[in-house]
C-alpha cells in the first residue's frame, strides 16, 4: 500500500478538493504581489493554484501538521515550477511573525483543528490590518448521507468516527460566531454544492481508508496492515451504499460546503 499522502494527492485531490479551489479563489481574489498563506495546506492544491495569481512578486506559503503531506506538496510544487515555501506547523501556533500576510486561505482544514478559536486567533495575528481570510468547510454529515453511512461503518470496525471530523464544523452559525469571536468582521457565508465523481468503484474503499489515515489525525497510527484489514471489512459493509451512488461507472457523491470570506 502506498504512502497515504501520495494516495490523497493522486485520488482525492482531483475529485474532492481541486474542484473547490476555483470557487475559493474567486471569493478571495488573490492579487499580484500579495503574500498568501495556505492553512492546513495538505499536498498544497490551494497554494499551487493560487501561486500564479500573486506572481511575479507575491509570496506563497503552505503550512500543515503532517510532514508526509508537505513532502508531496514540495515535490508537486517543484514539478509545477512553483516558488512556494512549505512549513510544518500547527494552525493553533503558527510559525510566522505578526502581519506577514495579506490573505489566508484554508480549504477543508479548520474542522480538523482541536482548538479552532486559537487557530482563528493565529490567522488574525499573521494577517495585515487590511487582510482577509477565506475558508471552505464541508457542511455537516446531515447533508452527506453516504459519508454518514461510511462513518457508522468505521465506528463499528475501529471505534473511531473518522469521517465525523471532516464534517464537524458544518453549521454556518457556528462558523460565524467563531469568526466573530476571533475578531473578524464583514463575514459572508455561502452554501454551495458540487458532485464528487470517484472513477473506480472497486478501489474506492481502499483509497478512502488510505486517505483517512493521511488526513484525520486520530487515525494516523494505522499502519499498512491495519489499513488493509479495515479496507476488507469496510468494503463488504459499504457495497450496497456504493451501488446506490453509481452513475456512468463512477461513485458519485454530492458534496455540500460553506464558502466563507472575512476581513480583519
Ligand X SMILES: C[S@@+](CC[C@H](N)C(=O)[O-])C[C@H]1O[C@@H](n2cnc3c(N)ncnc32)[C@H](O)[C@@H]1O
Among 11, 15, 76, 107, binds ligand X (CB under 6 A): 107
- Identify which of residues 76 and 107 has a Cβ nearer to ligand X in the complex: 107
- Identify which of residues 60 and 129 has a Cβ nearer to ligand X in the complex: 60
- Identify which of residues 165 and 235 has a Cβ nearer to ligand X in the complex: 165
d(Cα 173, Cα 262) in Å, to the nearest integer?
A: 14
Q: Rounded to the nearest whole angstrom, what is the least distance from the CB of residue 40 to ligand X in the complex?
A: 3
- Each residue 63-82 as x (binds ligand X by CB under 6 A) or -, in order, gives -xxx--x-------------
Q: Rounded to the nearest whole angstrom, what is the least distance from the CB of residue 17 to ligand X in the complex?
A: 4
Stretch that binds ligand X, among 25-33, 52-60, 104-112, 170-178 (CB under 6 A): 104-112
- Please report whether residue 168 would count as binding ligand X according to CB under 6 A: no
- Please report whether residue 45 would count as binding ligand X according to CB under 6 A: yes
Cα four-point dihedral sign 190, 115, 164, 219? positive
Cα four-point dihedral sign 196, 28, 47, 137? negative
- Identify which of residues 91 and 255 has a Cβ nearer to ligand X in the complex: 91
- Each residue 13-42 as x (binds ligand X by CB under 6 A) or -, in order, gives x---x----------------------xxx
- Please report whether residue 179 would count as binding ligand X according to CB under 6 A: no
- Please report whether residue 215 would count as binding ligand X according to CB under 6 A: yes
- Please report whether residue 109 would count as binding ligand X according to CB under 6 A: yes
Q: Which residue, among 144, 145, 247, has the nearest Cα to 198 in the 3D structure?
A: 247
Q: Rounded to the nearest whole angstrom, what is the least distance from the CB of residue 240 to ligand X in the complex?
A: 26
User: Which residue, judged by CB position, is nearest to ligand X in the bound state?
Assistant: 42
Contacting positions for ligand X (CB under 6 A): 13, 17, 40-42, 45-46, 64-66, 69, 90-92, 107-109, 112-113, 215, 217
Amino acid at each position: 500500500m502506498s504512502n497515504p499522502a501520495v494516495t490523497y494527492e493522486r485520488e482525492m485531490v482531483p475529485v474532492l478538493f481541486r474542484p473547490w479551489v476555483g470557487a475559493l479563489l474567486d471569493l478571495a481574489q488573490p492579487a499580484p504581489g500579495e503574500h498568501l498563506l495556505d492553512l492546513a495546506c495538505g499536498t498544497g492544491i490551494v497554494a499551487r493554484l493560487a501561486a500564479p495569481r500573486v506572481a511575479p512578486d507575491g509570496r506563497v506559503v503552505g503550512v500543515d501538521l503532517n510532514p508526509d503531506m508537505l513532502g508531496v506538496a514540495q515535490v508537486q510544487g517543484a514539478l509545477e515550477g512553483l516558488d512556494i515555501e512549505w512549513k510544518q506547523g500547527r494552525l493553533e501556533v503558527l510559525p510566522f511573525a505578526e502581519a506577514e500576510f495579506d490573505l489566508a486561505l484554508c480549504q477543508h482544514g479548520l474542522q480538523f483543528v482541536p482548538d479552532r478559536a486559537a487557530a482563528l486567533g493565529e490567522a488574525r495575528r499573521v494577517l495585515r490590518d487590511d487582510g482577509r481570510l477565506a475558508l471552505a468547510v464541508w457542511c455537516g454529515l446531515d447533508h452527506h448521507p453516504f459519508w454518514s453511512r461510511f462513518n457508522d461503518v468505521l465506528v463499528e470496525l475501529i471505534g473511531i468516527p473518522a469521517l465525523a471530523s471532516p464534517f464537524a464544523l458544518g453549521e454556518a452559525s457556528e462558523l460565524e460566531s467563531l469568526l466573530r469571536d476571533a475578531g473578524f468582521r464583514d463575514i459572508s457565508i455561502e452554501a454551495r454544492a458540487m458532485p464528487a465523481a470517484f472513477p473506480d468503484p472497486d478501489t474506492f474503499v481502499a483509497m478512502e481508508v488510505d486517505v483517512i489515515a493521511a488526513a484525520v489525525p486520530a487515525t494516523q497510527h494505522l499502519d499498512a496492515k491495519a489499513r488493509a484489514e479495515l479496507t476488507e471489512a469496510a468494503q463488504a459493509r459499504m457495497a450496497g451504499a456504493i451501488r446506490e451512488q453509481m452513475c456512468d461507472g463512477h461513485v458519485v457523491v454530492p458534496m455540500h460546503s460553506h464558502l466563507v470570506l472575512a476581513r480583519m
